[in-house]
Amino acid sequence: MNIILIPIFGFIGAAVTTVIAELVNGIWSFVLLRRHNPLVIILRLLPKILISAGIMVAVIILIPGFNVIIRICIGAAIYFIALTLLGGIERSELRGFKDIFRVGAA
């Protein structure tokens, strides 16, 4: 799509291509997620995910003077902490993260 749309529409074509690709990716990811997790689990987690994302956005807005990379790192950390505190990440998943980082550090 980029080969066709960018020469004709420039950066607007690139933006449209990106949105379409992300939409297809999101739909496909949801289909695959539903195969392994019932819709009830997904809907139960959705409020926790949205609240965590809202907290992350609020924090990022409150620190406008920082470099973009630093803001992204802070935002990711805030999102992870908020999601953990809200119960969106289970203890077994946290242990899995710990095991991954322990193996990676060795």
Closest CA to 97 of 72, 80, 82, 85: 80
Which among 18, 21, 24, 22 has a CA at the least distance from the CA of 9? 18
H/E run at residue 42: helix 39-62
- Both 3 and 47 in a single domain? no
What are the pLDDT digits (tens) for 77-98?
Answer: 999 999 999 988 887 877 877 7
- Is pLDDT of 41 > 80? no
Secondary structure (3-state) at 10: coil
Q: Which domain holds residue 22?
A: 1-36
**pTM for this prediction:** 0.61
Whether residues 48 and 31 fall in one domain? no
Cα 90 to chain center, whole Å?
A: 17
Domain count, the chain: 2
Tell me what percent of the residues of the chain surpass a pLDDT of 90: 49
Q: List the end-to-end C-alpha distance of the chain, in Å, as a whole number.
A: 44
